[in-house]
Amino acid sequence: MSNATFNEELEEKGVQFSATLLKLENSVIVFFNKKGSFKLGTLAIAMPNSLTSTYLSSILLGDRNTGITKILAGRFSNAFSCISLVSTHLDDIRGMDIGSLLLKLAQKLIDKLS
């Protein structure tokens, strides 16, 4: 498959979020940001584990939202059976379940490409 870019958006409590996925021949790179902001944030990598149906993941950069960033990297790695890099940059968002919101946004991208 040739390289392609896909975008999805979601609004929660008046705040708009966006996800941008770059599909490469051997990997995917996904950025999660507030709409109108495109920044590198906490960065995780995941790759399929050939011995099991799980994935291996690690944080490469950052210290905010590390748990959900690793989970998202794993979701994309499993969904596309390739290496995935996921960045989450969400300025000080308070009073929202960020994990749930990001998982919904990720699922919209995965469904779009499946």
The predicted pLDDT at position 102 comes to 94
Query: What pLDDT, in 10s, does the model give residues 13-69?
Result: 888 999 999 999 999 999 999 988 899 999 999 998 877 777 889 999 999 889 999
CATH architecture of the domain with residue range 4-113: 2-Layer Sandwich (3.30)
pLDDT band for 2, please (50, 70, 90 cuts).
low
pLDDT of residue 48: 87
Query: Which structure tokens are listed for 41?
Result: 């944030």
Give the side-chain half-sphere CA count within 13 A for 41. 23
Predicted pLDDT at 96: 64
Q: Across residues 71-97, what is the average pLDDT?
A: 88
Give percent of the chain with pLDDT exceeding 90.
66
Distance set, CA 4 to CA 20, 22, 29, 60, 99 (Å): 11, 6, 11, 24, 26
Task: Decide: 89 and 98 in contact? Cβ < 8 Å.
Answer: no
